[in-house]
């Protein structure tokens, strides 16, 4: 067992102390002073050594030898079995004859505190398209407008800002290369979604990437006729994620988490314009310099294959 972090004596020092007491003629006071403990402690360890030998000097468990209020293993297994039959904790407690807190404690240890824990874990389906442009993930994230630094930054409750409104971050992530493109828009309505799609297509085209596929959620902007017409005009096949399954668009969701942590919430901004201005430099860092764990800890831009339009030669 591990020695208690505040213990003055390790196993080796306990053994040395009892050997001094038994073979070297040390008194309890002398041995205690030598090892920085009391004479009573020296006497205690000598008694344990005489009773159990060297094994008596090892750390013992602090768990009591008898716990009258603990339940038997059979009852614990019964609690878990009844839970697997979708019984509520109160009913299990009455059926087994124990308190609800005991049932709660056993179910927590078994990882069955919630009825939803009984559902089988769906395996994670990971995929990656073979070439840049095969599939583009698009998603949005609402961000509160900044009029001035709020009380969470200044520490002064008088600096609270209410009712500043929202603006929307549109994000696009290439499934293969993970190269991202973003824009701030005043809202997430159809005209803004169409404009973002066209701007994203132009950006990826500047990198030599032709978009062929698109994946979005089922938001009204992406379901609009104008957005469908834009996809057709750009030669992009549009697909939708499954309802209530945001992980289907996981690459965009993961990018949003990184953007919020490292850009949107990572710094103090004086206003929304200041935050938007900082987005361009962070995006450059993300695409050109930041290692991405999902693609072998290389920057996304390195996954573009060398061609006659090799953007790697254009970087300064």
DSSP characters for 92-111?
HHHHHTS-HHHHHHHHHHHT
Tokens of 133: 């442009």
Model confidence at 4: pLDDT above 90: no
The arithmetic mean of pLDDT across residues 69-75, rounded, is 84
Model confidence at 59: pLDDT above 70: yes
- Write down the residue that tokens 């402690």 correspond to: 41
Question: What phi and psi, each to the nearest 5 degrees, are found at residue 65?
Answer: -70, -20
- Write down the residue that tokens 């289907």 correspond to: 248
If you average pLDDT over each of 62-71, 161-170, 251-260, which comes out highest?
251-260
**pLDDT tens string 253-310:** 999 999 999 999 888 898 999 999 999 999 999 999 999 988 889 999 999 864 444 4
Q: Report yes or no: 17 and 40 within 8 Å, Cβ to Cβ.
A: no
Handedness of CA 227, 228, 231, 236 (dihedral sign): positive
Whether the full predicted model's pTM is greater than 0.85, yes or no, is no
Per-residue confidence band for 3, with pLDDT thresholds at 50, 70 and 90:
low
The arithmetic mean of pLDDT across residues 120-125, rounded, is 67
Model confidence at 130: pLDDT above 70: yes
- Least confident range from 25-34, 74-83, 299-308: namely 299-308
Model confidence at 312: pLDDT above 60: no
Per-residue confidence band for 51, with pLDDT thresholds at 50, 70 and 90:
confident
At 1 the pLDDT is 46
Distances (CA, A) of 202 to 60, 211, 287, 301, 313: 70, 10, 16, 16, 19
CA angle 187, 192, 196 (to 5 degrees): 125
State the maximum Cα–Cα separation within the chain, in Å, rounded to a whole number.
Answer: 97
**pLDDT tens string 203-231:** 999 999 999 999 999 999 999 999 999 99
Per-residue confidence band for 182, with pLDDT thresholds at 50, 70 and 90:
very high
Model confidence at 97: pLDDT above 50: yes
Q: Which of 310, 247, 294, 301 is closest to 128 using CA atoms?
A: 294
| Better pLDDT: 190 or 23 | 190
Per-residue confidence band for 7, with pLDDT thresholds at 50, 70 and 90:
low
């Amino acid at each position: 067992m591990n020695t208690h972090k505040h213990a003055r004596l390790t196993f080796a020092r306990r053994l040395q102390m009892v050997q001094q007491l038994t073979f070297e003629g040390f008194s309890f006071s002398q041995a205690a002073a030598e090892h920085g403990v009391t004479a009573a402690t020296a006497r205690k360890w000598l008694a344990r050594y005489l009773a159990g030998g060297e094994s008596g000097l090892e750390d013992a468990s602090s768990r009591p030898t008898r716990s009258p209020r603990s339940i038997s293993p059979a009852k614990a297994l019964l609690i878990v079995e009844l839970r697997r039959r979708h019984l509520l904790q109160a009913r299990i407690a009455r059926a087994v004859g124990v308190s609800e807190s005991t049932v709660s404690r056993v179910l927590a240890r078994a990882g069955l505190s919630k009825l939803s824990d009984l559902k089988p874990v769906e395996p994670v389906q990971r995929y990656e398209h073979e070439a840049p442009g095969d599939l583009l993930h698009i998603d949005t994230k609402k961000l509160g407008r900044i009029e001035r630094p709020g009380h969470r930054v200044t520490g002064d409750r008088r600096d609270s800002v209410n009712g500043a409104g929202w603006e929307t971050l549109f994000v696009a992530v290439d499934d293969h290369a993970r190269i991202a493109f973003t824009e701030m828009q005043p809202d997430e309505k159809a005209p803004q979604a169409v404009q973002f799609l066209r701007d994203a297509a132009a950006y990826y085209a500047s990198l030599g990437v032709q978009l062929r596929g698109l994946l979005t959620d089922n938001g009204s902007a992406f379901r609009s006729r104008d957005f469908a017409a834009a996809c057709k005009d750009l030669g992009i096949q549009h697909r939708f994620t499954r309802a209530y399954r945001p992980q289907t668009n996981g690459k965009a969701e993961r990018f949003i988490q990184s953007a919020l942590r490292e850009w949107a919430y990572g710094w103090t901004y004086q206003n929304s314009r200041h935050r938007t201005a900082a987005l361009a430099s962070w995006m450059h860092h993300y695409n050109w310099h930041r290692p991405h764990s999902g693609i072998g800890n290389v920057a996304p831009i390195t996954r573009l294959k060398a061609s006659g339009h090799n953007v790697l030669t254009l970087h300064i």
